[in-house]
Amino acid sequence: MTEETGGTGTGHRSVSFTRVEKGLYEATNARGGTLRFGGGGESEEFTPVELLLTAIAGCSAVDVDFIVSKRAEPTTFDVVTEGVKTKDAEGRNEMSDLAVTFTVRFDEGEAGDKAREMLPKAIAMSHDRLCTVTRTVVKGTPVEERQA
């Protein structure tokens, strides 16, 4: 078995989940954290597609926050990820038109100016190099489905 790692370093990651009831599941990470989600969208739990959007936004938000907050503490830091669920020509579900929008504000002054100047660079760095989730989606990494 491969050793589990966490944080931002390289290494194996895994999340397991268990069915709680029809359409409700609980994911557990290697550190014991849990997250409930639903499959049908009838309850308040996040759907898997919403979790994908959350993962894209969350990964980039962490990158951008760590970079710009070195210069100044944001007064506003909001991120919206959106996309359109569609079907391809063969009727297979997929997401298209994925977009991440950052609304980040800083106080006036030299530190805020430095952070504002760095913001577009930080967003580009996250997209192009740092965010594992976005890089994986953009690359189009295959997913192998197995039965134990």
Q: Are residues 24 and 74 in the same domain?
A: no
* The predicted structure's pLDDT at residue 5: 65
Q: Are residues 17 and 33 in the same domain?
A: yes
Q: Are residues 105 and 80 in the same domain?
A: yes
Q: What is the DSSP string of the chain?
A: -PPB--TTSSSB--EEEEEEETTEEEEEETTS-EEEEESSSSSSSBPHHHHHHHHHHHHHHHHHHHHHTTT---SEEEEEEEEEEEE-TTS-EEEEEEEEEEEEE--SSHHHHHHHHHHHHHHHHIIIII-HHHHHHHHT--------
Contact 30, 6 (CB under 8 A): yes
* The predicted structure's pLDDT at residue 97: 97
Count: domains in the chain:
2
| Residue 146, domain member (yes or no) | no
CATH number of 66's domain: 3.30.300.20
Which positions ≥6 away from 70 have C-beta within 8 Å? none
Buried residues in 38-57 as b, exposed as e (16+ CB within 10 A): beeeeeebbbeeeebbbbbb
Q: Are residues 36 and 96 in the same domain?
A: no
pLDDT of the chain, 148 residues: tens digit per residue: 566 666 678 888 889 999 999 999 999 998 899 999 997 777 889 999 999 999 999 999 999 999 999 999 999 999 999 999 999 999 999 999 999 999 999 999 999 999 999 999 999 999 999 999 999 999 999 999 999 9
Q: Are residues 80 and 128 in the same domain?
A: yes
Q: Are residues 70 and 116 in the same domain?
A: yes
* pTM (2 d.p.): 0.89
| Structural domain range at position 95 | 48-139
| Residue 42, domain member (yes or no) | yes
